[in-house]
Chain A
Amino acid sequence: MNNQDQSLIFEISTPGRIGYSLPEMDVEATPLGEILPEGYIRTEEAALPEVSELDIMRHYTALSRRNHGVDSGFYPLGSCTMKYNPKINENVARYNGFAHIHPYQDPSTVQGALELLFDLQEHLTEITGMDQVTLQPAAGAHGEWTGLMMIRAFHEANGDTERTKVIVPDSAHGTNPASATVAGLETITVKSDENGLVDLEDLKRVVGPDTAALMLTNPNTLGLFEENILEMAQLVHEAGGKLYYDGANLNAVLSKARPGDMGFDVVHLNLHKTFTGPHGGGGPGSGPVGVKADLIPFLPKPLVIKQDERFTLDYDRPQSIGRVKPYYGNFGINVRAYTYIRSMGPDGLKAVTENAVINANYMMRRLEPFFDLPYNRHCKHEFVLSGRRQKQLGVRTLDIAKRLLDFGYHPPTIYFPLNVEEGMMIEPTETESKETLDAFIDAMIQIAKEAEETPEIVQEAPHTTVIKRLDETLAARKPVLRHQA
């Protein structure tokens, strides 16, 4: 076939070739028929590839070259905090004593691992201003659900069974309402006002005796700090509800404001964002949850505790919501996050946020003359432009995103948040230099000019990638989800 320049691994498979080196069979073999019951022995081999070790390495090296990561180039994907992934983290996570330990070993044989987890819990407790942190949840959305399950359990323990509503701003991540649903709660949307912040009047209208919680990202997905946070907290608390902090945007407030001090009762963090666990092409992440004292009894099991200078796992938690995940969370990612926090220290983390916020504001101000800026005020770690002006010229935000690919950039998050028309959400992070930002800004300015002068260049982009725009409708209408031999 000449319509493809990258073979599937199955297409380079050749019968008789192998890529493995299993240990010697040093015990006497018994015929399988004597061990396994009839009808349960596999008769047809799974059609896995048959390739040599070099075939494998070439294949995946070729694939990696068709993939853009932070190490390949700038990646200002808003709300995802695509910062540099320190290499020391990768080395530490691969130490035998971290990578190759079993969750069911006797605690006396894994004191180093438990100590690290305990110390990470302590660090995150201080950073969030909460009273206790669990490291169990596997990702941000998993943390959201865990937090909401705890809030539900808290209300139910108080006999407050009518509190079934979770208030979510219209600018929220899609996971927020989805997590509420999966936790058995209903979502009510609260509107944003003309400043891009939660509309206090609308909040007053929806908050009430059925309020389980208000879920908030602060700064919000527009990159704006919810400056009425104290009034909002008071409103929700007076109505008997809890305040939930979506930690997706924590990179904006390290050492500047702690969720616990702002009145939040529950917070989840995305260790793969602010704390540099790599994004891994979509995961694994880690989504610890911090809570205030009154919610501690509901934390999932087990919790890492320190008793008489020994570290151990506490399963004796009668009011716990139960287990949210086997074992103790995504330990390998937690090791990376811990290594990062210890590399930065308190002054380093403060500089992280300051530099991230300067970078974002600098880009926003330099791009403001060329694109619409729906909410014109200082932003935090990210900002949202609108492609309205370019849309009138026939160039959509999607086209701008695709044109950025020709310059070697990963585009911003697009068409989000939902309350901005043709939105482009840009998050530079603190690990990018001014030169990188300037080069990206120049590319954006050039694209804005192209939209006016030669729109087809933008509309037909990308021009330089290994593949052109893909037919997503075809993919969905006639799904081909696996290779057929």
Chain B
Amino acid sequence: MKHRYLPMTEQDQQDMLQVIGVPTVEELFKDIPESVRFQGEYDIKPAKSEPALMKELSRLASRNADLKNYASFLGAGVYDHYAPVIVDHVLSRSEFYTAYTPYQPEISQGELQAIFEYQTMICELTGMDVANSSMYDGGTALAEAAMLASGQTRRKKILISGAVHPESREVVKTYAKGQRVEVIEIPYKDGVTDVAALKELANDDIAGVIIQYPNFFGRIEPLKEMEEIIHGVKSMFIVSSNPLALGALASPGSLGADIVTGDAQPFGIPAAFGGPHCGYFAVTNKLVRKVPGRLVGQTVDEDGKRGFVLTLQAREQHIRRDKATSNICSNQALNALAASVAMTALGKKGVKEMAVQNIQKAHYAKNAFMQKGLEIVFAGPSFNEFVIKLPASFSEVNKKLFEKGMIGGFDLGSVYPELNDHMLVAVTELRTKEEIDAFAQELGDQHE
């Protein structure tokens, strides 16, 4: 068997078996009981050469309609954004992507420093004191936040707004089942969390309250009003945020959040059919020793030179084992690096400018739809998404849009039965005026 990834020659093999002191390689597998030893070869596809495999997979990829060739108005947690070209060049440095967790700090300063910088940038955007080195994604980060709140307050109930991403809500519920925590939904009203309902549900049994900002419908939630109610019953205020929006919006930290989570996908991370993305997790100083996952801290070496290490590891699974409150081990380090590079490239001015472009273009799109006689449902302050009532069935509308080179928005009826034939439309900075006009025109035509 010759293969470009397998350097062992026949001569090597003979020499090595001799040192080991066995006549054949089979001898090394004799401790596997005969009855379970696998005989023969797997019944899987045969190996392909590099060029043949690239051709096959390139053809398979071309059977997907991609965001580079279609104008996408689809968001709902995953967005088509400007990713500075430099991001992929940095990620392609294989010193980063072929390394593992920086357990040996002396030869991992690059990764450690990059994560330290990432933690700083997440703190800056969220207005929080501490951010960890990343979580799998926004959904699981939110679930871990709920579990942290339950552990910290020793309470077993979580309130979650119905305007939080439906899949995140489901993930929170699955994690809660594991920890025997009850999850209660706060209804939404006119596209935002029903504050009156929150007031009724909030009591001193509630560990934490989860609000998304901007919420799943794109609306900006009145966090200030809610903060008083939540802290009034000594619950933890958990906010899930699109970090790009925070370039223009007041930070959750400044509005009283205890834990802020979300997904850094808008910063240089491709949609990739839903993953891998990059969950972030930020808390106030008070909770620093309760944060799940890895933390990078600054210290000095024997000569007093600045350096970085994984720190406060007593929180983590490999030390605490069954006493651990989270089992996370691998995270999304490479995507945290992508987000760092994107945040660095955008910088102080660009992150704000990009966020504002989203707001402006979505605002323009709303007006364009209204001019075509379409109804904006849940009208009110929003970031880059909003809800429209469709002139025909979702599938019909979407099909026609696709024929014109556009990927329509999210089918709200698929998760909110009361919003059948409503579309959640995302307008990012990448959508041109021309594309927005064409989209509005198409829906307008169907309306008439």
Q: Are B350 and A18 in contact (CB under 8 A)?
A: yes
> Would you call A282 and B330 a contact (CB within 8 A)?
yes
Cβ-neighbour of A472 out of B76, B167, B299 (below 8 A): B299
Query: Nearest Cβ in chain A — how far from B432, in angstroms?
Result: 6
Partner of B275, one of A25, A224, A325: A325
Closest to B299 in A: A475
Of all A-B residue pairs in the complex, the 6 with the closest CB atoms, nearest first, are A327-B274, A345-B47, A97-B61, A280-B334, A103-B274, A67-B110
- Give Cα distance in the complex from A45 to B356, angstroms: 13
Chain A residue, CB-CB nearest to B94: A71
Could you mark each residue 52-84 of chain A with 1 if its beta carbon is under 8 Å from any beta carbon of chain B, else 0? 010011011111111111111001010010111
Q: Bound complex: CA of A175 vs CA of B351, how far in Å?
A: 37
Q: Indicate if B17 sits at the interface (CB-CB under 8 A).
A: yes
Interface window among B51-59, B152-160, B193-201, B231-239: B51-59
Residues 300-327 of chain B: 1 if any A CB is under 8 Å from the residue's CB, otherwise 0? 1111111111011110111111111111
Q: Is the CB of B429 within 8 A of A85?
A: no
| Contact in complex: A345, B301 (CB < 8 Å) | no
Contact partner, B62, options A10, A86, A112, A152, Cβ 8 Å: A112
A61 vs B398: C-alpha distance when bound (angstroms): 44
Instruction: Provide the residues of chain B in CB contact with A300, threshold 8 Å.
Output: 174
Within 8 A of B (CB), among A8-27: 8-10, 13, 17-23, 25-27
**With contacts A19-B350, A481-B296, A483-B117 known, is A283 near B12, CB below 8 A?**
no
A-B contact count (CB 8 A): 707
CA distance A97 to B220 in the complex (A): 33
Residue from B19, B74, B109 with most neighbouring chain A CB atoms (10 Å): B109
Task: Check if B66 sits within 8 Å of A97, measured CB to CB.
Answer: yes
- By the criterion CB–CB under 8 Å, are B300 and A470 in contact? yes
Contact of A126 with B33 at beta-carbon distance under 8 Å, contacts A88-B50, A142-B136 already known: no
Report if B416 contacts A (CB, 8 A). Answer: no
Decide: A482 and B97 in contact? CB cutoff 8 A: no
User: Hey, which chain A residues are within 8 Å of B334, CB to CB?
Assistant: 278, 280-284
Q: In the complex, A29 Cα to B100 Cα: how many Å? A: 46
User: For B19, what are the chain A residues with a Cβ–Cβ distance below 8 Å?
Assistant: 362, 365-366
Q: Which of chain B's residues 92-137 have a Cβ closer than 8 Å to chain A? A: 92-111, 113-117, 119-121, 123-125, 129-131, 133-134, 136-137
A98-B319 Cα distance, complex, nearest whole Å = 38
Instruction: Please tell me if the beta carbons of B5 and A481 are within 8 angstroms of each other in the complex.
Output: no
Within 8 A of A (CB), among B46-90: 46-48, 50, 53-54, 56-69, 72, 74, 76-78, 80, 82, 84, 86, 88-90
> A330 on the interface (CB 8 Å rule)?
yes
Judge whether A63 and B114 touch: CB under 8 Å: yes
| From B90, B100, B273, contact of A282 by CB (8 A) | B100
In contact, A329 and B275 (Cβ under 8 angstroms):
yes
Q: Is the CB of A49 within 8 A of B344?
A: yes
Query: Which listed residue, B38, B301, B345, B359, touches A35 by the CB 8 Å rule?
Result: B359
23 contacts between A and B (CB under 8 A): A19-B344, A20-B346, A21-B84, A22-B350, A70-B99, A97-B66, A101-B66, A103-B271, A112-B61, A119-B45, A256-B38, A261-B38, A283-B330, A323-B173, A332-B273, A345-B45, A350-B41, A431-B7, A480-B297, A481-B116, A481-B119, A481-B295, A481-B298
Residue contact B271 to A20, C-beta cutoff 8 Å: no
B314 → A minimal CB distance (Å): 8
Docked complex Cα distance between A358 and B19 (Å): 10
Which residues of chain A (427-450) have a CB below 8 Å from chain B?
430-434
Residues of chain A contacted by B119 (CB below 8 angstroms): 481-482
Q: Which residues of B in the span 169-183 have a Cβ within 8 Å of any Cβ on A?
A: 170-171, 173-175, 177-180
Q: From residue A207, how far is it (CB to closest CB) to chain B in Å? A: 18
B249 contacts partner chain A, Cβ-Cβ < 8 Å? yes
Given contacts A19-B86, A482-B131, contact A48 B347 (CB under 8 A): yes
CB proximity of B366 to chain A, nearest CB, Å:
10
Which residues of chain B are near A362, meaning CB under 8 Å?
A: 16, 19-20
**A397 CB to nearest B CB, Å:** 13
A99 at the interface (CB under 8 A from B): yes
Q: Shortest Cβ distance from A138 into chain B, in angstroms?
A: 4
Provide the A344-381 mask, 1 if CB < 8 A to any CB of B, else 0: 11111111101101110110011000000000011010
The reply to whether A348 and B140 form a contact with Cβ atoms under 8 Å apart is: no
- Complex alpha-carbon distance, A323 and B248, angstroms: 32
Whether the Cβ atoms of A100 and B66 lie closer than 8 Å is yes
C-alpha gap A110/B63 in the complex (Å)? 7
Is B13's beta carbon under 8 Å from chain A? yes
Contact with A along B319-358 (1 / 0, CB 8 A): 1111111111111111101000101111111111110110
Q: Which residues of B contact A481 (CB under 8 A)?
A: 116, 119, 130-131, 288, 295-298, 311
* Structural contact, B93 and A60, CB atoms closer than 8 A: yes
- Closest CB-CB distance, A89 to chain B, in whole Å? 10
Q: How far is the CA of A229 from the CA of B316 in the complex (A)?
A: 30
A279 to B322, CA, bound (A): 25
Q: A30 to B381, Cβ gap below 8 A?
A: no
**B65 pairs with A105, CB closer than 8 A:** yes
Among A178-186, A198-206, A235-243, A387-395, which stretch is in contact with chain B? A178-186
Distance of A141 Cα from B326 Cα, bound (Å): 10
B248, chain A: closest CB distance, angstroms: 6
Please give me the residue from chain A that is nearest to B279 by CB atom: A138
CB distance from B37 to the nearest CB of A (A): 6
Residues of B within 8 A of A377 (CB): 31
CA distance A351 to B25 in the complex (A): 10
CB < 8 Å neighbour of B270 from A46, A100, A321, A365:
A100
Bound together, the chains give a CA A12 to CA B146 distance in angstroms of 38
Q: How far is the CB of A483 from chain B (nearest CB, A)?
A: 4
The answer, yes or no, to whether A155 is at the interface (CB within 8 Å) is: no
Judge whether A342 is part of the interface by a CB distance below 8 angstroms: yes
**Structural contact, B309 and A281, CB atoms closer than 8 A:** no
Contacts of A13 in B (CB 8 A): 347-348
